[in-house]
Amino acid sequence: MVSDKRGGDVLTRAAAALIAAACIALVACAADAKPQPVITSIFDPASPPAEEIFTLSMLVLGICAAIFVIVAGLTIYAIIAFRRRADDDGIEPPQVYGSNPIELAWTMVPLLIVSVLFLVTTRTLLAVQKPPPFPPGTVNVTVIGHQWWWEFRYPDLGLVTANELHVPVSDPTDRRPTSLRLESVDVVHSFWIPQLNGKTDVIPNHVNTMWIEPMRTGTFLGQCAEYCGTQHAHMLLRVVVHSPSEFEQWVAEQRQAGPGGATPGRQAFQSAACINCHRVGGTVADGVFGPDLTHLMSRATIGAGVAPNTPETLRAWVTNPDQLKPGVLMPAMQLDDQTVDQIVAYLATLK
């Protein structure tokens, strides 16, 4: 029994050391996250709702850390102070039963802590849900979840893109929040950009709304946060935040028509099954099941973040998408090498 007990003590101490190490690593990561903005991070909020959530998380973490330190400290103290000694006389120390002050204290203190957490959480929930007044000219985006990619439609600007959301930066003196309308065409997804806002479910036959208000330019990573099938983990997105003038330039570029002319690549593309699912503005390709490819080359990644957008990965994707993204709904078209080359050459012109 005694050796069992000692084994248990060693385990308790090892567990405490592990948890402490994890806490230190977590804090170190938080410090490290600062200079690298292209990282999915909850520790570096860049938008008011994300800041609210971050503040709440730190409060909860602080309270939990304090409880952990007190409980672990008392445990370690008890283990050391009341350990079995060689000259033990075998007499039990005085036992305490039914002490009203102690009973009251350990009921009231947890009740107080839970009440504080409940009230602060409610305040944060309300703050995150209530958008600021949307000024005229606010960018409205309809986010559509698909297995396994994101479609972004800008109804006021007449633009459609995929997996990379472009928005203007906000400023305390010139606020430009972006209003998002979330829809799904298949199953439940969850839209999450940790640095810009919390998660919001994307539900079929139901519209949810959320807002982001990035306060600095740059690229922010996000991902689907609700298991939605085989490639849930590869349902990534990135938000590119521009200065207002850069954003206007991006809009102008996205509005430009694609390349004209009947190149072999364009003919190969239009006579393959590609056009049943993909749209390319100004061509017969008018599909809606897959991402709009009109400005494919303006995106940094393909397959919803599964690979960088390079000629090699694009070729591999067109040849057999399943190899890069197992389970993807786009089939391999069984095209010969020459046709794949022509189609990839054509896609490379879709700037």
Residues in touch with ligand CUA (CB under 6 A): 145, 148, 189, 224, 226-228, 232, 235
Shortest Å distance, C-beta 325 to ligand CUA: 13
Beta bridge partners of 201: 190
Nearer to ligand CUA, 217 or 230 (CB): 230
Q: How far apart are CA 261 and CA 112, in angstroms?
A: 72
Nearer to ligand CUA, 295 or 325 (CB): 325
Shortest Å distance, C-beta 148 to ligand CUA: 6
What DSSP string describes 17-40?
HHHHHHHHHHHHHHHHHTT--SS-
Nearer to ligand CUA, 182 or 343 (CB): 182
Nearer to ligand CUA, 163 or 339 (CB): 163
What DSSP string describes 67-111?
HHHHHHHHHHHHHHHT---TT---PPPPP----HHHHHHHHHHHH
CB neighbour list of residue 313: distance below 8 Å, 6 or more residues apart = 302, 307, 324
Shortest Å distance, C-beta 287 to ligand CUA: 20
**Cα→Cα distances 194→6, 51, 56, 237, 331, Å:** 44, 10, 14, 11, 32
Q: How far apart are CA 214 and CA 175, in angstroms?
A: 10
Shortest Å distance, C-beta 207 to ligand CUA: 17
* Residue 108 CB coordination number (10 Å): 10
Shortest Å distance, C-beta 192 to ligand CUA: 10
Shortest Å distance, C-beta 224 to ligand CUA: 3
Nearer to ligand CUA, 190 or 309 (CB): 190
Nearer to ligand CUA, 148 or 247 (CB): 148
327 near 230, Cβ under 8 Å? yes
